[in-house]
Structure 1
Amino acid sequence: MYDVIKTLSLFAYPLGAFFLLAAVALALRLLARPRGAIAVALFALAWLWVWSMPVTADRLNASLEAQYPYLPVDKVPTADAIVVLGGAFSNDAAWPYPSAGGSIDRYWHGARLYHARRASKLILSGGRHPERPENLSEAEAGREFLLDMGVPDEALLLDNLSRTTHDHIRYLKPMLAEAGIERLLLVTSATHMRRSEAVFRHAGLNVTPVATAFSVPSDPVITLRRYLPSIRGLTGSTRAVHEWVGYGFYWLRGWL
């Protein structure tokens, strides 16, 4: 089910929708309806252009990030533990160290909060890739990074099973109850925080959101390039759409 949902969701993203529109245009051309084919093809190109503009990406991500402004570490309240939601690492058996992506800020900020004595425990939540079960889990890769950041091993608790935002609740809640942890600092990317906080609060957990990895410039410079298609723009738009689609799906499932 996990793989099916992930695969189907691809067609809700801007690039997936573009290819669906391109397929429709091709079908119309094969059915000898050239005007319809041209109209759909032009719409598909305009669609991809709009979603690939950095200004589109920034506005979409700002709609997710705006309610979670940057909070200086010394202004973060203390808690029983810091929960860092995974999503930063990938690894290959041929390479001994995990490779970090943009979400590495989550772990970095978790270490920053720990060293500022905001909490005495750091919980890492993230399972193994379903196609590479023999490799490190996300939480285990995060542990290696945090050890290098000076966080002691005894301060770390690992959830090696979670693969989705909702899974974090399924596997973390029993762990928290067993450890007697009640107050949490929830660390994840700013665009991911709305869905994450809603899931944790729906489960009855006491969380303080501490967002990191902000993607929208606080004072963007208006240039022509912000209206031209780019990989950055398409990636940013896709990230925002992923969160809004995920939020809607979780709402329908009653997880929020």
Structure 2
Amino acid sequence: MDPLSRRVLKKAGPVKPAHDRHDHSSEAPLYFALSKTLGVALLPINLLVELGILSVVLMATRFAALGRKLAAVTLILLALAAFSPLGNLLLYPLESRFAPWDPSRGAPDGIIVLGGSIDTDLSAAHRTPVVGHAADRLFAPAELARRYPNARIVFTGGTPRLVSTESREADHAATVLENVGIAKERLTLERDSRNTWENAIFTRQLVSPKPGERWLLVTSAFHMPRAMGVFRKAGFDVEAYPVDWRMGGRADLFSFTNMSVDGLGRTDVALREWIGLVAYRLIGRTGELLPGPGPGKD
């Protein structure tokens, strides 16, 4: 273990083990490997780059005509992803699925924060937490912890890498959360999960929620439908606390962007999430394609 990880773990205090790595609930090795290899290769922006390279290769062979057609199609798709409202149209059904949490329902017993905001490799390399994106996932629990001093705070996140390392997101998140005012005694770290399914399974095993307890689930608004579906399937009843919105609302649906980075980013995030929803539904990790608020809940 590198010196930073030892320092973080010492600071965060003892961490209750989340699970046995051979537990039947953990991710199937083949599925996890495919999701991190073939799944990554098929992500929208990656796929467009791959098609572009293929078109160039084809143009140097006897299939030059096919290569030119493929290049034209790829360029059109790239333009749509970068400059059209496509990303907004795909994001809106995800971000609007769950309304902001209603505090009038009373204080929660616990708050679960999903990982995905800290780059574990960069954090280990620079010996300090590096927040790459979705920083709202870390800001929200700080506010909630002040508002509800008796609520337990759980951060769940290990490493999403195919080849596991000693650098775990929960370890670095502990430093960030303590720096924003959350006492380490209130923090519970789940540091072995590699994806949303394992977030739900391992967190449920770790905290053993009691009947009648109310737990909030903090994650990005676009990710909330899949996260809620997974936690429900895992038998952990939680309430949605969406953060990290990428759109202002319905008014943004048909807005065009002048920044290709914004357009490509939104399209990639949205399509990645839709692919995840379909995959999780097909393998039975959610009960419906687009999970929504339950009757009288969320």
Q: TM-score surpassing 0.5?
A: yes
Equivalent-residue separation in structure 1 for 2:201 and 2:45 (angstroms): 32
Equivalent-residue separation in structure 2 for 1:94 and 1:27 (angstroms): 37
Q: 1:229 to 1:47 in 2, by over 3 A?
A: farther
Equivalent-residue separation in structure 1 for 2:151 and 2:189 (angstroms): 14
Q: 1:222 to 1:51 in 2, by over 3 A?
A: closer
Q: 1:67 to 1:34 in 2, by over 3 A?
A: same
Offset, 1:211: 0.1
For residue 282 of structure 2, give the secondary structure of its aligned residue in structure 1: helix
Equivalent-residue separation in structure 2 for 1:119 and 1:38 (angstroms): 63
| Counterpart residue number, 1:43 | 73
Equivalent-residue separation in structure 2 for 1:156 and 1:169 (angstroms): 17
Structure 2: 5+ residue runs without aligned partners?
A: 1-29, 287-298
Q: 1:146 to 1:93 in 2, by over 3 A?
A: closer
| Counterpart residue number, 2:215 | 184
Equivalent-residue separation in structure 1 for 2:224 and 2:278 (angstroms): 14
Offset, 1:54: 5.6
Offset, 1:76: 5.8
| Counterpart residue number, 2:109 | 80
Normalised to the residue count of structure 2, the TM-score between the two structures is 0.76
Structure 2 residue 238 is matched with structure 1 residue 207:
yes
The letter of the residue matching 1:56 is L
| Counterpart residue number, 1:153 | 184
Equivalent-residue separation in structure 1 for 2:105 and 2:79 (angstroms): 40
For residue 211 of structure 1, give the secondary structure of its aligned residue in structure 2: strand
| Counterpart residue number, 1:165 | 196
Q: Which deviates further from its counterpart, 5-14 or 208-217?
A: 5-14
Q: Within 5 Å, which residues of 2 pair with 1:101-180?
A: 101-117=132-148, 120-128=151-159, 130=161, 131=163, 133-135=165-167, 137-177=168-208, 180=210
| Counterpart residue number, 1:234 | 264
User: In the alignment, is the contact (CA less than 8 A) between 1:54 and 1:232 conserved in 2?
Assistant: no
Offset, 1:227: 4.9
Equivalent-residue separation in structure 2 for 1:102 and 1:157 (angstroms): 22
Q: Which deviates further from its counterpart, 32-41 or 153-162?
A: 32-41
Offset, 1:217: 1.8
Equivalent-residue separation in structure 1 for 2:188 and 2:234 (angstroms): 20
| Counterpart residue number, 2:229 | 198
Offset, 1:149: 1.2
| Counterpart residue number, 2:43 | 13
Between the aligned residues of both structures, percent identity stands at: 26
Equivalent-residue separation in structure 2 for 1:77 and 1:54 (angstroms): 42
Equivalent-residue separation in structure 2 for 1:231 and 1:140 (angstroms): 31
User: In the alignment, is the contact (CA less than 8 A) between 1:86 and 1:126 conserved in 2?
Assistant: yes
| Counterpart residue number, 1:60 | 90
User: In the alignment, is the contact (CA less than 8 A) between 1:85 and 1:124 conserved in 2?
Assistant: yes
Q: 1:222 to 1:173 in 2, by over 3 A?
A: closer
**RMSD (Å) for aligned C-alpha atoms:** 2.4
Q: Which deviates further from its counterpart, 87-96 or 27-36?
A: 27-36
For residue 241 of structure 2, give the secondary structure of its aligned residue in structure 1: strand
Equivalent-residue separation in structure 1 for 2:105 and 2:180 (angstroms): 20
For residue 196 of structure 1, give the secondary structure of its aligned residue in structure 2: helix
Q: Which deviates further from its counterpart, 90-99 or 213-222?
A: 213-222
Normalised to the residue count of structure 1, the TM-score between the two structures is 0.88
| Counterpart residue number, 1:247 | 277
Equivalent-residue separation in structure 2 for 1:88 and 1:18 (angstroms): 25
Q: Which deviates further from its counterpart, 119-128 or 212-221?
A: 212-221
The letter of the residue matching 2:275 is V
Q: 1:109 to 1:55 in 2, by over 3 A?
A: same
Equivalent-residue separation in structure 1 for 2:84 and 2:56 (angstroms): 29
Equivalent-residue separation in structure 1 for 2:180 and 2:227 (angstroms): 25
Offset, 1:12: 2.6
Offset, 1:221: 9.9
Equivalent-residue separation in structure 1 for 2:151 and 2:84 (angstroms): 40
